[in-house]
Amino acid sequence: MSVLNSISASQPLDAYTGLVRVRVCGLLVQEGALLLTAHRGLLSDDAPFWSPPGGGWQFGETIQECLRREFQEETGLAVTVGRFLHLHEYGSNDLQALELFFEVTTDDATVSPHLGHDPEHDAENQLLTKLAFMEPRQLIRLPPNQVHPVLRQIISTDDVFIPQIRFQR
């Protein structure tokens, strides 16, 4: 169980303010599209923020266990964790995170993903609002602040498989 279990803060990100987080995220590509989750509460105008499924690494877990757990919670999918692809450092006045991105594949191609939940937040304060496969051309049409920096300006899903390190302040 996470220390942040059942958060019901008036501001969804209050629980993460002033903490350094390590997040593990998975990049699942099917038929030229990436599986992404929309989060609320990250942008001032309450617009959705699209990011790959993933979340906080918990004490006692391996990174692979964390990613499998997060993918199951958020999408209902069992996945196999593949190669490491990206390191992204994020920092703002209130939030700080180190994000590790891995290639993932589904264990059962016949199972369709469905929007799950974030157990750190109670039902009324979920950050996850949507789950969708999105093609790069769809992401390019969105305002850049609504797309995770690792996915901004990709032209093809092949672009996500080129390892990179990004620092954002």
Q: Is residue 5 part of a domain?
A: no
Give the CATH number of the domain where residue 151 resides.
Answer: 3.90.79.10
What pLDDT score was predicted for residue 16?
Answer: 65
pLDDT tens by residue, 65-74: 999 999 999 9
pLDDT tens by residue, 121-140: 777 777 899 999 999 999 99
pLDDT tens by residue, 84-126: 999 999 877 777 889 999 999 999 999 999 999 878 777 777 7
Q: Is residue 14 part of a domain?
A: no
State both tokens at 68.
Answer: 């499998």
Q: Residue 155: which domain range?
A: 19-168
Count how many domains the chain has: 1
Q: Is residue 8 part of a domain?
A: no
Q: Is residue 74 part of a domain?
A: yes
Q: Which of 85, 100, 104, 89 is nearest to 28 (CA)?
A: 104
The amino acid at 127:
L
pLDDT band for position 75 (cuts 50, 70, 90): very high
State both tokens at 121.
Answer: 């937040």
What pLDDT score was predicted for residue 121?
Answer: 74
